[in-house]
Chain A
Amino acid sequence: MLIDARTTESGQVLRADVCIIGAGAAGVAIAKELAGTSLDVLLLESGGFERDGAVGALNEGKVTGERLDSPLERARLRMFGGTANHYAGWSRPLEALVFERRDWVPDSGWPLTQDDLVPYYRRASVALGLGPFEYDWPWWHRERGMGTAVLPDSDFATGMIQITINHPGALYRDALVAATNVRLCLWATAVELVLDADGTRLAGVEVATLTGRRFRAEARVYVLAAGGIETPRLLLASRRVRANGVGNEHDLVGRYFMEHLNLTCGAAVFARDWDAFALYRLQESAAAEPGMAPIKVLGYLAPRDDLQRRERLLAMEINISAMPFAVLEQLFRTLPPTERLSGLTIRDVAALASLPDRPAVAAGVRVVAEQAPNPLSRVTLLTERDALGVPRVALDWRPQASDRASLVRGLLAFARTLGRTGFGRLQLATGEAFGRKMLTGPSFVVTDPLADEFPGLDFTVGTGYHHMGTTRMHPDARHGVVDANCRVHSVPNLYVAGSAVFPTGGSAGPTFTLVALALRLADHLRREMTA
């Protein structure tokens, strides 16, 4: 059932068994799972089915730390489908090692393993219109006739990424509207979480519209699924009973904000022919479910676990776009003069690196790297309020020097692997290209020998609208806002869904994992509430 909150009578109370705040990928997945059950579900969404400027302006805030590549009101989307409408569809499971406690990554470790999530990843594959739950390249080679991996016996392994064009919101809009036990309430912005008098349970949610309507939602259980910035914002802003906000007894809400470090690191020359890279080019394949749009698949490279342990690396994904020299050079020629690379060209290095009886291939190299958890990287509230009276956010994003050092160590390990195997040469370029910051820093011709990292290297990076960690999951309330079931430690009828609960972010896009977690939470709620 569909409700337009703009015409809802002020002062009324909408009651339900489950109230979900936010119809993004996580909220929609949970509502869809609960559709058809005996539970009465109320799904509150701040926006409508299309983007709306006035509603989007509620996201405006201040970035006080490292620059994000777009303002907060554009980085997040208040509409059905949520910020997942930015979702480019790139999907793979979070790396198994990322779930572990890594002694070189402070505050790492999930209370779950990758294996725990595999059944939910399988279901998320269907929910997102992906292909079969297969992310090892030999399966795609064997079953779908795709190419083979390069560097097979090296420190770098090849994995597979699936890309769906199916957005979670679009997939389930009609089903949710038709569901008799789900009320989808659009244009309804949650402005306050109201605790009961002793502060131990959530008693209701205050809801407002930009048309001046105000009403309340009350439920047995609440799921806050508003994204990695709005979720802590609402928890922190709800101070009527507890001065520090809801679930914030240990000053953890809003801390540990993480993004993915996303950059084009430069070019490469590979002493192989064009066909060697077939696996790393986008190829179309059938989706797992009949009626779903085809997916695309491509390979990527990543440091193996033993290399990560040895070099104390954070997770990273290396995408190589092999292309003829002329094409890559033409791309660079189209850059504004300030962004053009100077110095040695790809052709120069090809003269040095390629083998006599083989062709050489040029490549652009893009990297997505993990940011380590940092309690000082955080979302806080400003005194300024939005049009509905909610304090706006300040985002102090703080990737650390150690994140950059890990990234450079990983790339140097990759460069050394290429050289050691005679496979090619890698460039860690200075400058900026294709709208992404590349490795920048003091311009150099020749540095000292590179033991571990570039001395003095300092660079900025792009991001991916991947807002993670601000209500992190940990079994101990002193170290996490939610427990392994995504339940807020201090408020047993309040759960959080979405990437805000990720203790660490790995290098995979978060949507696949957050949908898997949402399906797991839906199962938990169904068990708990219908027992």
Chain B
Amino acid sequence: MNDDAIVLTRRTLLRWAAGGTFALAMRAGLVEGSDAADDGDVAAALTRIGRRYLEGTPDERDLPTLQRRLGAWRTPDEVLDNVAALERAVRRDFERGDILAVDGWILSRTELRAAALFALTASRP
């Protein structure tokens, strides 16, 4: 797995947080007024999801392959430049049943690939 290609920056995190489906919401704090997540938690979460996905789909551990399958997006920043399109793609996945179970969580293939992109390009867990 290539962890060094793109460094996870605060700017990237904030852009994810401002986006649609892929918002970096550690929202317990908003519910209870405490326990808000920090950037490190968010990075860890996305990286874990991406890595769990890649454990089960080893052929996508290769960044060019993953990028090709994701189609429109090659980096997290590209994803975040068009979050609305990503959200539409995710909903379409659920509509047609292109879904996977990761540790029992039923997730869209597109969102998992995007998380995998994050994992492959993040420099730290």
Contacts and interface: CB of A to CB of B under 8 A. Distances in A.
A27 B57 CA distance: 60
A420 B115 CA distance: 18
Contacts of B90: 419
A351 B24 CA distance: 5
A415 B106 CA distance: 6
A411 B21 CA distance: 22
A341 B109 CA distance: 23
Interface stretch (A163-171, A187-195, A449-457, A508-516): A449-457
A350 B26 contact: yes
B25 A360 contact: yes
Contacts of B94: 415-420
B31 A444 contact: no
B25 A354 contact: yes
Interface string B1-24: 000000000000000011111111
Given A324-B31, A419-B106, A355 B101 contact: no
Interface stretch (A46-54, A78-86, A98-106, A426-434): A426-434
A439 B26 CA distance: 27
A418 B107 CA distance: 10
B77 interface: no
A349 B25 contact: no
A398 interface: no
B91 interface: yes
B97 A449 contact: yes
A531 interface: no
B72 interface: no
Contacts of A324: 28, 31-32, 35
Most central of B17, B94, B101 by chain A CB within 10 Å = B101
B30 A446 contact: no
Nearest to A355: B23
B23 A356 contact: yes
A273 interface: yes
B85 interface: no
A445 B32 contact: no
Interface in A340-395: 341-345, 347-356, 358-362
B104 A419 contact: no
A450 B23 contact: no
A325 B28 contact: yes
B121 interface: no
Given A412-B106, A425-B106, A449 B100 contact: yes
B25 A356 contact: yes
Interface residues of A, number: 51
A416 B34 CA distance: 31
Interface in B89-125: 90-91, 93-95, 97-109, 111, 115
Interface residues of B, number: 50
Contacts of B22: 352
Contacts of B103: 341-344, 427, 429, 445
A147 interface: no
A428 B106 contact: yes
B106 A420 contact: no
A422 B45 contact: no
Contact of B102 (A343, A362, A415, A426): A343
Nearest to B30: A359
A324 B25 CA distance: 13
Contacts of B111: 352
B48 interface: yes
A427 B95 contact: no
B81 interface: no
A352 B53 CA distance: 13
B27 interface: yes
A352 B26 contact: no
A449 B107 CA distance: 10
A450 B93 CA distance: 11
Nearest to A454: B101
Given A352-B115, A425-B105, A326 B99 contact: no
A358 B20 CA distance: 11
Interface string A305-328: 000000000000000000011100
A447 B97 contact: no
Given A347-B41, A426-B106, A444 B21 contact: no
A417 B94 CA distance: 7
Contacts of B46: 348, 351-352
A353 B19 CA distance: 11
A266 interface: yes
A421 B21 CA distance: 11
B53 A446 contact: yes
Given A344-B102, A349-B107, A351-B26, 16 more contacts: A273-B30, A348-B46, A351-B23, A352-B45, A352-B115, A355-B20, A355-B23, A358-B25, A416-B95, A422-B87, A428-B106, A444-B101, A446-B52, A446-B55, A449-B99, A450-B100
12 contacts: A326-B34, A350-B26, A351-B49, A354-B25, A356-B18, A359-B31, A420-B91, A428-B101, A446-B53, A446-B101, A447-B100, A449-B98
Interface of B: 17-28, 30-32, 34-35, 37, 41-42, 45-46, 48-49, 52-53, 55-57, 87, 90-91, 93-95, 97-109, 111, 115
